[in-house]
């Protein structure tokens, strides 16, 4: 390393120390009692998998880089993990970073791009075109939740329609079946 490079490195280190001191000052001025969330046993088990994968790749576990998390998600999916399992592992990585008060590497474009390849969810067929366009802009994990809830609602509606048809077929009274709207919304 040349003398100029050494001087530049020393300047960068001094700047980092200055910024760290400023961050520490801001943190002490923050008058909030921020509790540290506990890490559940299942979260720790998932973090163990992530930690071993990071060690095998010689990558940092915490703070993790977004591209490292994206590569981990894709690797788990290639090993046969379902989308739900991958999402649970990503939630564990989020919890680890939250525990240490670090930025969340999971909610980044790199991880979202990886999830796009893992979670393929079409918008509900009954939705209008404008809503389908907006659906495509949502995070893949949110799209999956919406699609699952829509499918549950459709199944419940079909079940109630079949029950009504069965009643009509068996000669039961022809009054509409009374249902609680809450039943359909769930």
Same domain, 70 and 115: yes
DSSP three-state, residue 124 = coil
Work out the burial of residue 96: count CB atoms within 10 Å of its CB; fewer than 13 is exposed, 13-18 middle, 19 or more buried: buried
56 plus 106 within the same structural domain: yes
Q: What is the CATH number of the domain that holds 116?
A: 1.10.150.130
Q: Are residues 167 and 114 in the same domain?
A: no
Q: Are residues 111 and 150 in the same domain?
A: no
pLDDT at 148 over 60: yes
| Total tally of structural domains belonging to the chain | 2
∠ CA 57-90-48, nearest 5°, is: 55
Which residues span the domain enclosing 179? Answer: 145-185
The 3-state DSSP class for residue 64 equals coil
User: Does residue 26 form part of some domain?
Assistant: no
For the stretch 20-65, pLDDT in tens is 899 888 888 887 777 777 889 999 999 999 999 999 999 999 999 9
The pLDDT, as a whole number, for residue 178 is 61
Residues 161 and 111 in one domain: no
Are 110 and 162 contained in the same domain? no
Q: Is residue 82 pLDDT above 80, yes or no?
A: yes
Reply yes or no on whether the pLDDT at 180 is more than 70: no
Q: Determine, yes or no, domain membership for 31.
A: no
Phi, psi of 82 (to 5 degrees): -70, 165
Highest mean pLDDT out of 20-24, 44-48, 126-130, 150-154: 44-48
| pLDDT category of residue 172 using cuts at 50, 70 and 90 | low
Q: Which of 128, 129, 113, 120 is nearest to 147 (CA)?
A: 120
23 occurs within a structural domain: no
106, 116, 128, 182 from 103: Cα distances, Å: 9, 22, 37, 38
Percent of the chain past pLDDT 70, that is, above it, reads 92
Q: 53 with 96, same domain?
A: yes
Distance CA 14, CA 179 (A): 69
pLDDT (0 to 100) of residue 1: 85
Please give the residue that has the higher pLDDT: either 60 or 120: 60
**Tally of CA atoms within 13 A in the half-sphere of 28 that contains its CB:** 5
In this structure, the answer to whether residues 90 and 164 fall within a common structural domain is: no
Same domain as 95, residue 156: no
For residue 94, being part of any structural domain is answered with yes
Summarize the confidence of residues 143-151 as an average pLDDT. Answer: 89
At 80 the pLDDT is 96
Q: Are residues 88 and 53 in the same domain?
A: yes
Check whether residue 54 and residue 115 sit in a common domain. Answer: yes
Residue 99, in any domain of the structure: yes
1: in domain: no
Lowest model confidence (mean pLDDT) among 97-101, 155-159, 177-181? 177-181
């Amino acid at each position: 390393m040349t003398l100029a490079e050494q001087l530049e490195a020393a300047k960068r280190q001094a700047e980092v120390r200055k910024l760290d001191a400023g961050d520490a000052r801001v943190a002490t001025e923050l008058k909030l009692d921020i509790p540290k969330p506990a890490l559940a046993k299942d979260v720790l088990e998932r973090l163990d998998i992530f930690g071993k994968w990071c060690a095998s790749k010689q990558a940092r576990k915490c703070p993790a880089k977004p591209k490292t998390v994206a590569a981990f998600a894709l690797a788990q999916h290639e090993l046969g993990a379902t989308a739900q399992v991958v999402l649970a592992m990503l939630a564990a990585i989020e919890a680890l970073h939250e525990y240490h008060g670090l930025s969340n590497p999971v909610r980044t474009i790199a991880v979202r791009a990886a999830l796009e390849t893992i979670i393929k969810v079409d918008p509900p067929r009954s939705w209008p075109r404008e809503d389908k366009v907006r659906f495509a802009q949502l995070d893949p994990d949110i799209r999956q939740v919406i699609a699952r809830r829509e499918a549950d609602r459709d199944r419940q509606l079909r079940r109630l329609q079949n029950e009504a048809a069965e009643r009509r077929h068996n000669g039961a009274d022809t009054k509409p079946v009374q249902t609680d709207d809450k039943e359909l919304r769930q």
